[in-house]
Chain A
Amino acid sequence: MEPTRERNATLVDLLDRVLDKGLIINADIIISLAGIPLIGVNLKAAIAGIETMLEYGMMQEWDETIRAISRKEIKEKLPLLEGEKISGKMFASYFYAEGDTWRAGWLYNTNKRIFLFRDEILFETALEKIKGLVIAEDIVDKRKEIYLEIENQVVKFHAKNIFLLKDFIKGQIEKFGIILKKTDVQFLIEGQEIIHSDKMWYMAPADKAFDKTWQPGQLYLAAKDLYWYNSFDEKIMLTIPINKIMEVKIEEEKPYNANNKVLAVSYAGSSKETTFFSNSEEILEKWENLIKKAMPIAA
Protein backbone atom coordinates (compact mmCIF):
# COMPACT_ATOMS: atom_id res chain seq x y z
CA MET A 1 0.00 0.00 0.00
CA GLU A 2 1.22 3.40 -0.91
CA PRO A 3 -0.20 6.59 0.45
CA THR A 4 -2.11 8.43 -2.24
CA ARG A 5 -3.28 11.95 -2.49
CA GLU A 6 -6.68 13.00 -3.76
CA ARG A 7 -5.76 14.26 -7.20
CA ASN A 8 -7.93 17.30 -7.32
CA ALA A 9 -8.04 19.34 -4.19
CA THR A 10 -10.34 22.35 -4.26
CA LEU A 11 -9.87 25.68 -2.59
CA VAL A 12 -12.63 24.82 -0.14
CA ASP A 13 -10.78 21.62 0.82
CA LEU A 14 -7.68 23.66 1.41
CA LEU A 15 -9.50 26.24 3.53
CA ASP A 16 -11.21 23.53 5.50
CA ARG A 17 -7.94 21.78 6.19
CA VAL A 18 -6.35 25.01 7.34
CA LEU A 19 -9.28 25.86 9.59
CA ASP A 20 -9.42 22.35 10.96
CA LYS A 21 -5.76 22.21 11.86
CA GLY A 22 -5.44 25.85 12.71
CA LEU A 23 -2.82 28.27 11.62
CA ILE A 24 -0.47 30.19 13.85
CA ILE A 25 1.41 33.15 12.51
CA ASN A 26 4.14 34.58 14.62
CA ALA A 27 6.08 37.30 12.96
CA ASP A 28 8.36 40.16 13.81
CA ILE A 29 8.64 42.75 11.14
CA ILE A 30 10.83 45.79 11.21
CA ILE A 31 10.53 48.39 8.52
CA SER A 32 13.66 50.38 8.26
CA LEU A 33 14.87 53.15 6.06
CA ALA A 34 18.50 53.77 5.31
CA GLY A 35 19.47 51.13 7.83
CA ILE A 36 17.49 52.76 10.64
CA PRO A 37 14.51 50.80 11.99
CA LEU A 38 11.39 52.99 11.90
CA ILE A 39 8.34 50.82 12.38
CA GLY A 40 8.07 47.61 14.33
CA VAL A 41 5.34 45.06 13.90
CA ASN A 42 5.01 42.20 16.32
CA LEU A 43 2.38 39.97 14.84
CA LYS A 44 0.75 37.05 16.57
CA ALA A 45 -2.25 35.51 14.93
CA ALA A 46 -4.14 32.26 15.26
CA ILE A 47 -6.71 31.28 12.69
CA ALA A 48 -8.84 28.18 13.12
CA GLY A 49 -12.37 26.91 13.13
CA ILE A 50 -14.01 27.55 16.49
CA GLU A 51 -14.25 23.85 17.12
CA THR A 52 -10.45 23.59 16.84
CA MET A 53 -10.04 26.70 18.97
CA LEU A 54 -12.17 25.12 21.68
CA GLU A 55 -10.11 21.95 21.53
CA TYR A 56 -7.09 24.01 22.43
CA GLY A 57 -9.02 25.86 25.09
CA MET A 58 -9.12 29.16 23.23
CA MET A 59 -12.06 31.54 22.90
CA GLN A 60 -14.20 29.35 25.11
CA GLU A 61 -15.67 32.26 27.01
CA TRP A 62 -16.42 34.14 23.82
CA ASP A 63 -18.22 31.22 22.32
CA GLU A 64 -20.47 30.82 25.33
CA THR A 65 -21.17 34.52 25.77
CA ILE A 66 -22.03 35.12 22.15
CA ARG A 67 -24.35 32.15 22.04
CA ALA A 68 -26.03 33.21 25.25
CA ILE A 69 -26.61 36.71 23.92
CA SER A 70 -28.24 35.56 20.72
CA ARG A 71 -30.35 33.02 22.59
CA LYS A 72 -31.61 35.77 24.83
CA GLU A 73 -32.25 38.12 21.93
CA ILE A 74 -34.38 35.61 20.10
CA LYS A 75 -36.36 34.80 23.21
CA GLU A 76 -36.97 38.44 23.95
CA LYS A 77 -37.98 39.21 20.43
CA LEU A 78 -40.73 36.66 20.15
CA PRO A 79 -43.30 37.13 22.89
CA LEU A 80 -44.37 33.53 23.33
CA LEU A 81 -47.03 32.36 25.74
CA GLU A 82 -46.20 29.89 28.42
CA GLY A 83 -45.70 26.43 27.02
CA GLU A 84 -45.94 27.77 23.50
CA LYS A 85 -43.73 26.10 20.92
CA ILE A 86 -43.01 27.31 17.41
CA SER A 87 -43.49 24.65 14.80
CA GLY A 88 -42.81 26.65 11.67
CA LYS A 89 -42.65 30.02 10.04
CA MET A 90 -43.33 31.43 6.62
CA PHE A 91 -43.09 34.86 5.08
CA ALA A 92 -46.53 36.28 4.45
CA SER A 93 -48.46 39.50 4.55
CA TYR A 94 -51.86 40.29 5.94
CA PHE A 95 -54.33 43.01 5.12
CA TYR A 96 -54.65 45.47 7.95
CA ALA A 97 -58.15 46.69 7.33
CA GLU A 98 -58.08 49.71 9.67
CA GLY A 99 -55.03 51.11 7.96
CA ASP A 100 -56.07 49.86 4.53
CA THR A 101 -52.55 48.48 3.98
CA TRP A 102 -50.75 45.19 3.65
CA ARG A 103 -48.35 44.34 6.44
CA ALA A 104 -45.63 41.78 5.83
CA GLY A 105 -43.76 39.68 8.33
CA TRP A 106 -43.05 36.15 9.45
CA LEU A 107 -46.11 34.08 10.05
CA TYR A 108 -45.43 31.73 12.95
CA ASN A 109 -47.26 28.51 13.64
CA THR A 110 -47.23 27.49 17.25
CA ASN A 111 -49.15 24.94 19.24
CA LYS A 112 -51.46 27.70 20.49
CA ARG A 113 -51.60 30.51 18.01
CA ILE A 114 -50.90 31.68 14.55
CA PHE A 115 -49.24 35.06 14.60
CA LEU A 116 -47.55 37.45 12.23
CA PHE A 117 -44.43 39.04 13.56
CA ARG A 118 -42.15 41.85 12.46
CA ASP A 119 -40.57 43.72 15.37
CA GLU A 120 -43.93 43.36 17.06
CA ILE A 121 -46.94 41.14 16.73
CA LEU A 122 -48.94 42.47 13.82
CA PHE A 123 -51.67 39.91 13.95
CA GLU A 124 -52.52 36.98 16.15
CA THR A 125 -55.27 34.49 16.63
CA ALA A 126 -55.78 31.46 18.80
CA LEU A 127 -56.00 28.31 16.72
CA GLU A 128 -59.44 27.35 17.96
CA LYS A 129 -60.89 30.69 16.89
CA ILE A 130 -60.30 29.90 13.23
CA LYS A 131 -63.52 28.80 11.63
CA GLY A 132 -62.87 28.74 7.94
CA LEU A 133 -60.18 29.03 5.30
CA VAL A 134 -60.48 29.47 1.54
CA ILE A 135 -58.37 30.63 -1.36
CA ALA A 136 -60.09 33.09 -3.62
CA GLU A 137 -59.22 35.78 -6.07
CA ASP A 138 -59.51 39.19 -4.52
CA ILE A 139 -62.05 41.20 -6.45
CA VAL A 140 -60.07 44.45 -6.19
CA ASP A 141 -56.43 43.29 -6.38
CA LYS A 142 -57.09 40.54 -8.93
CA ARG A 143 -54.75 38.13 -7.19
CA LYS A 144 -55.30 35.05 -5.09
CA GLU A 145 -55.53 35.53 -1.36
CA ILE A 146 -56.25 33.38 1.61
CA TYR A 147 -59.32 34.31 3.55
CA LEU A 148 -59.31 33.22 7.13
CA GLU A 149 -62.57 33.41 9.00
CA ILE A 150 -61.94 34.09 12.65
CA GLU A 151 -65.01 34.25 14.81
CA ASN A 152 -66.97 37.12 13.33
CA GLN A 153 -64.35 38.65 11.12
CA VAL A 154 -62.53 37.76 7.95
CA VAL A 155 -58.82 38.37 7.50
CA LYS A 156 -56.94 38.33 4.20
CA PHE A 157 -53.48 36.84 3.84
CA HIS A 158 -51.10 36.75 0.96
CA ALA A 159 -47.85 34.95 0.15
CA LYS A 160 -45.77 34.39 -2.95
CA ASN A 161 -46.93 30.80 -3.06
CA ILE A 162 -50.49 30.93 -1.88
CA PHE A 163 -51.01 27.17 -1.91
CA LEU A 164 -47.97 26.66 0.29
CA LEU A 165 -49.42 29.21 2.69
CA LYS A 166 -52.74 27.41 2.69
CA ASP A 167 -51.10 24.08 3.52
CA PHE A 168 -49.03 25.85 6.15
CA ILE A 169 -52.04 27.24 7.99
CA LYS A 170 -54.43 24.41 7.34
CA GLY A 171 -51.90 21.74 8.29
CA GLN A 172 -51.35 23.45 11.62
CA ILE A 173 -55.04 23.76 12.37
CA GLU A 174 -55.71 20.16 11.48
CA LYS A 175 -52.73 18.92 13.47
CA PHE A 176 -54.44 20.16 16.57
CA GLY A 177 -57.68 18.46 15.72
CA ILE A 178 -59.62 21.58 14.91
CA ILE A 179 -62.10 20.92 12.17
CA LEU A 180 -62.93 23.84 9.97
CA LYS A 181 -66.60 24.29 9.45
CA LYS A 182 -67.53 23.63 5.88
CA THR A 183 -65.95 26.48 4.03
CA ASP A 184 -68.49 28.94 2.92
CA VAL A 185 -68.14 31.42 0.13
CA GLN A 186 -70.68 33.75 1.66
CA PHE A 187 -67.98 35.83 3.27
CA LEU A 188 -65.90 35.97 0.11
CA ILE A 189 -68.47 37.75 -1.90
CA GLU A 190 -68.01 40.85 0.13
CA GLY A 191 -71.14 42.89 0.60
CA GLN A 192 -73.06 41.00 -2.04
CA GLU A 193 -76.22 39.26 -1.17
CA ILE A 194 -76.41 35.73 -2.48
CA ILE A 195 -79.64 35.31 -4.39
CA HIS A 196 -79.46 31.63 -5.10
CA SER A 197 -77.14 28.66 -4.89
CA ASP A 198 -77.15 25.04 -6.06
CA LYS A 199 -74.78 22.17 -6.53
CA MET A 200 -73.58 22.31 -10.11
CA TRP A 201 -71.16 20.57 -12.47
CA TYR A 202 -68.82 22.87 -14.31
CA MET A 203 -66.86 22.21 -17.47
CA ALA A 204 -63.40 23.19 -16.25
CA PRO A 205 -61.08 24.42 -18.99
CA ALA A 206 -58.01 22.33 -19.71
CA ASP A 207 -54.93 23.16 -17.69
CA LYS A 208 -51.45 21.69 -17.42
CA ALA A 209 -52.57 18.65 -15.48
CA PHE A 210 -55.94 17.79 -16.91
CA ASP A 211 -57.93 17.83 -20.07
CA LYS A 212 -61.30 19.46 -19.96
CA THR A 213 -63.28 17.76 -17.25
CA TRP A 214 -66.54 18.09 -15.45
CA GLN A 215 -65.92 19.15 -11.92
CA PRO A 216 -68.35 19.21 -8.99
CA GLY A 217 -68.97 22.43 -7.14
CA GLN A 218 -71.45 25.02 -6.13
CA LEU A 219 -72.87 27.77 -8.30
CA TYR A 220 -73.76 31.06 -6.64
CA LEU A 221 -75.80 33.88 -8.03
CA ALA A 222 -74.99 37.04 -6.12
CA ALA A 223 -76.24 40.56 -6.65
CA LYS A 224 -73.50 41.48 -9.14
CA ASP A 225 -71.68 38.30 -10.09
CA LEU A 226 -72.11 34.67 -10.88
CA TYR A 227 -69.61 32.48 -8.98
CA TRP A 228 -68.68 28.88 -9.29
CA TYR A 229 -66.96 27.43 -6.27
CA ASN A 230 -64.81 24.35 -6.65
CA SER A 231 -65.53 22.11 -3.69
CA PHE A 232 -62.43 20.05 -4.38
CA ASP A 233 -59.90 22.86 -4.36
CA GLU A 234 -62.00 24.95 -2.00
CA LYS A 235 -61.75 28.09 -4.01
CA ILE A 236 -63.75 30.20 -6.39
CA MET A 237 -62.70 29.22 -9.89
CA LEU A 238 -64.99 31.36 -11.95
CA THR A 239 -66.42 34.82 -11.56
CA ILE A 240 -68.69 36.26 -14.20
CA PRO A 241 -70.03 39.79 -13.69
CA ILE A 242 -73.72 39.61 -14.45
CA ASN A 243 -73.64 42.73 -16.62
CA LYS A 244 -71.17 40.90 -18.93
CA ILE A 245 -73.48 37.95 -19.51
CA MET A 246 -74.71 37.99 -23.09
CA GLU A 247 -76.67 34.81 -23.50
CA VAL A 248 -78.03 31.94 -21.47
CA LYS A 249 -79.54 28.84 -22.99
CA ILE A 250 -80.03 25.16 -22.35
CA GLU A 251 -78.36 23.06 -24.99
CA GLU A 252 -80.09 19.91 -26.10
CA GLU A 253 -76.86 18.21 -27.00
CA LYS A 254 -74.72 16.72 -24.31
CA PRO A 255 -71.21 17.95 -25.08
CA TYR A 256 -68.14 16.50 -23.40
CA ASN A 257 -69.90 13.31 -22.34
CA ALA A 258 -72.31 15.11 -20.05
CA ASN A 259 -74.96 12.88 -18.51
CA ASN A 260 -77.55 15.59 -18.67
CA LYS A 261 -78.32 18.59 -20.75
CA VAL A 262 -76.07 21.56 -20.20
CA LEU A 263 -76.59 25.22 -19.50
CA ALA A 264 -74.43 27.41 -21.72
CA VAL A 265 -73.59 30.83 -20.34
CA SER A 266 -71.95 33.22 -22.80
CA TYR A 267 -70.29 36.35 -21.57
CA ALA A 268 -68.05 39.11 -22.85
CA GLY A 269 -64.55 38.30 -21.69
CA SER A 270 -61.56 39.12 -23.85
CA SER A 271 -63.81 37.79 -26.59
CA LYS A 272 -67.18 36.11 -26.36
CA GLU A 273 -66.64 33.16 -24.08
CA THR A 274 -68.95 30.36 -23.14
CA THR A 275 -68.95 28.16 -20.07
CA PHE A 276 -71.02 25.08 -19.47
CA PHE A 277 -72.81 23.89 -16.38
CA SER A 278 -74.66 20.67 -15.92
CA ASN A 279 -77.26 19.27 -13.57
CA SER A 280 -80.76 17.82 -13.87
CA GLU A 281 -82.94 19.53 -16.44
CA GLU A 282 -85.24 20.91 -13.78
CA ILE A 283 -82.46 22.73 -11.99
CA LEU A 284 -80.98 23.99 -15.26
CA GLU A 285 -84.31 25.51 -16.22
CA LYS A 286 -84.54 27.22 -12.87
CA TRP A 287 -81.05 28.70 -13.35
CA GLU A 288 -81.81 29.78 -16.90
CA ASN A 289 -84.73 31.80 -15.60
CA LEU A 290 -82.80 33.16 -12.63
CA ILE A 291 -79.91 34.39 -14.73
CA LYS A 292 -82.17 35.84 -17.39
CA LYS A 293 -84.02 37.75 -14.73
CA ALA A 294 -80.76 39.11 -13.33
CA MET A 295 -79.33 40.06 -16.73
CA PRO A 296 -79.56 43.67 -17.88
CA ILE A 297 -82.72 44.31 -19.86
CA ALA A 298 -80.83 45.35 -22.97
CA ALA A 299 -79.62 41.77 -23.38
Chain B
Amino acid sequence: MIDIDEKNLKHGLLGLVIALVEIIKDALKLQAIRRVESEKLTEEETERLGQALADLDKAIEEMKEEQGVSQAVQSVRKGFDDLANDMLNKLTNPLKWEEKDKEVKNEKIMAS
Protein backbone atom coordinates (compact mmCIF):
# COMPACT_ATOMS: atom_id res chain seq x y z
CA MET B 1 0.00 0.00 0.00
CA ILE B 2 2.77 2.40 0.92
CA ASP B 3 5.02 1.76 -1.95
CA ILE B 4 8.61 2.89 -1.73
CA ASP B 5 10.35 2.20 -4.97
CA GLU B 6 13.83 0.82 -4.43
CA LYS B 7 15.24 2.51 -7.47
CA ASN B 8 13.70 5.72 -6.37
CA LEU B 9 14.65 5.70 -2.75
CA LYS B 10 15.17 9.46 -2.58
CA HIS B 11 11.78 10.18 -4.04
CA GLY B 12 10.14 7.61 -1.87
CA LEU B 13 11.76 8.73 1.33
CA LEU B 14 11.28 12.41 0.64
CA GLY B 15 7.72 11.72 -0.42
CA LEU B 16 7.10 9.92 2.84
CA VAL B 17 8.59 12.71 4.92
CA ILE B 18 6.73 15.44 3.08
CA ALA B 19 3.50 13.45 3.25
CA LEU B 20 3.86 13.20 7.02
CA VAL B 21 4.60 16.92 7.25
CA GLU B 22 1.54 17.60 5.14
CA ILE B 23 -0.68 15.45 7.31
CA ILE B 24 0.53 17.24 10.42
CA LYS B 25 0.06 20.57 8.66
CA ASP B 26 -3.52 19.69 7.73
CA ALA B 27 -4.26 18.62 11.28
CA LEU B 28 -2.74 21.86 12.58
CA LYS B 29 -4.83 23.81 10.12
CA LEU B 30 -8.03 22.24 11.41
CA GLN B 31 -6.98 22.98 14.98
CA ALA B 32 -6.15 26.54 13.96
CA ILE B 33 -9.63 26.97 12.53
CA ARG B 34 -11.07 25.71 15.79
CA ARG B 35 -8.98 28.17 17.79
CA VAL B 36 -9.90 31.08 15.58
CA GLU B 37 -13.58 30.16 15.74
CA SER B 38 -13.41 30.13 19.53
CA GLU B 39 -12.81 33.90 19.25
CA LYS B 40 -10.35 33.86 22.09
CA LEU B 41 -7.44 34.89 19.87
CA THR B 42 -6.78 38.53 19.15
CA GLU B 43 -7.11 39.79 15.62
CA GLU B 44 -3.37 40.16 15.34
CA GLU B 45 -2.81 36.56 16.45
CA THR B 46 -5.38 35.29 13.98
CA GLU B 47 -3.65 37.20 11.25
CA ARG B 48 -0.24 35.85 12.22
CA LEU B 49 -1.53 32.30 12.43
CA GLY B 50 -3.14 32.55 9.02
CA GLN B 51 -0.01 34.01 7.51
CA ALA B 52 2.19 31.30 9.03
CA LEU B 53 -0.06 28.55 7.71
CA ALA B 54 -0.14 30.12 4.28
CA ASP B 55 3.66 30.38 4.30
CA LEU B 56 3.92 26.75 5.32
CA ASP B 57 1.55 25.74 2.54
CA LYS B 58 3.60 27.63 0.02
CA ALA B 59 6.91 26.29 1.27
CA ILE B 60 5.69 22.69 1.07
CA GLU B 61 4.23 23.19 -2.39
CA GLU B 62 7.47 24.73 -3.60
CA MET B 63 9.53 21.93 -2.12
CA LYS B 64 7.37 19.28 -3.77
CA GLU B 65 7.63 20.99 -7.10
CA GLU B 66 11.37 21.50 -6.81
CA GLN B 67 12.07 17.87 -5.89
CA GLY B 68 9.45 16.50 -8.26
CA VAL B 69 7.80 14.41 -5.57
CA SER B 70 4.21 15.67 -5.85
CA GLN B 71 3.14 12.32 -7.26
CA ALA B 72 4.99 10.35 -4.60
CA VAL B 73 3.50 12.44 -1.80
CA GLN B 74 0.05 11.95 -3.19
CA SER B 75 0.40 8.20 -3.37
CA VAL B 76 1.86 7.99 0.14
CA ARG B 77 -1.02 10.04 1.48
CA LYS B 78 -3.49 7.88 -0.37
CA GLY B 79 -1.84 4.86 1.20
CA PHE B 80 -2.19 6.32 4.68
CA ASP B 81 -5.77 7.38 4.05
CA ASP B 82 -6.72 3.90 2.85
CA LEU B 83 -5.05 2.45 5.90
CA ALA B 84 -6.98 4.76 8.21
CA ASN B 85 -10.17 4.05 6.34
CA ASP B 86 -9.66 0.31 6.57
CA MET B 87 -8.92 0.50 10.26
CA LEU B 88 -11.99 2.58 11.01
CA ASN B 89 -14.08 0.34 8.86
CA LYS B 90 -12.98 -2.71 10.78
CA LEU B 91 -13.57 -1.03 14.12
CA THR B 92 -16.84 0.71 13.50
CA ASN B 93 -18.72 -1.00 10.70
CA PRO B 94 -21.09 -3.72 12.01
CA LEU B 95 -21.15 -5.43 8.63
CA LYS B 96 -17.42 -5.94 8.92
CA TRP B 97 -17.77 -7.52 12.35
CA GLU B 98 -20.11 -10.04 10.86
CA GLU B 99 -17.59 -10.86 8.14
CA LYS B 100 -14.86 -11.19 10.69
CA ASP B 101 -17.02 -13.52 12.79
CA LYS B 102 -17.60 -15.68 9.77
CA GLU B 103 -13.90 -15.74 9.01
CA VAL B 104 -13.08 -16.79 12.53
CA LYS B 105 -15.72 -19.50 12.43
CA ASN B 106 -14.43 -20.75 9.11
CA GLU B 107 -10.96 -20.91 10.49
CA LYS B 108 -12.15 -22.90 13.44
CA ILE B 109 -13.95 -25.31 11.17
CA MET B 110 -10.85 -25.64 9.05
CA ALA B 111 -8.74 -26.26 12.11
CA SER B 112 -11.01 -28.94 13.45
Contacts and interface: CB of A to CB of B under 8 A. Distances in A.
A103 to B, nearest CB: 22
Contacts of A14: 84, 87-88
Nearest to B22: A12
B27 A10 contact: no
A10 B92 CA distance: 15
B84 A10 contact: yes
A71 B49 CA distance: 12
A11 B83 CA distance: 8
A19 B31 CA distance: 8
Contacts of B34: 20, 49, 51
Contact of A12 (B27, B38, B44, B93): B27
Interface residues of A, number: 19
Contacts of B48: 74
A14 B45 CA distance: 27
Contact of A15 (B23, B40, B42, B77): B23
A13 interface: yes
Nearest to A12: B26
Interface of B: 23, 26-27, 30-31, 34-35, 38, 40-42, 44-45, 48, 77, 80-81, 83-85, 87-88, 92-93
Question: Which 5 pairs of residues, A with B, have the shortest CB-CB distance?
Answer: A10-B81, A11-B84, A12-B26, A11-B80, A49-B31
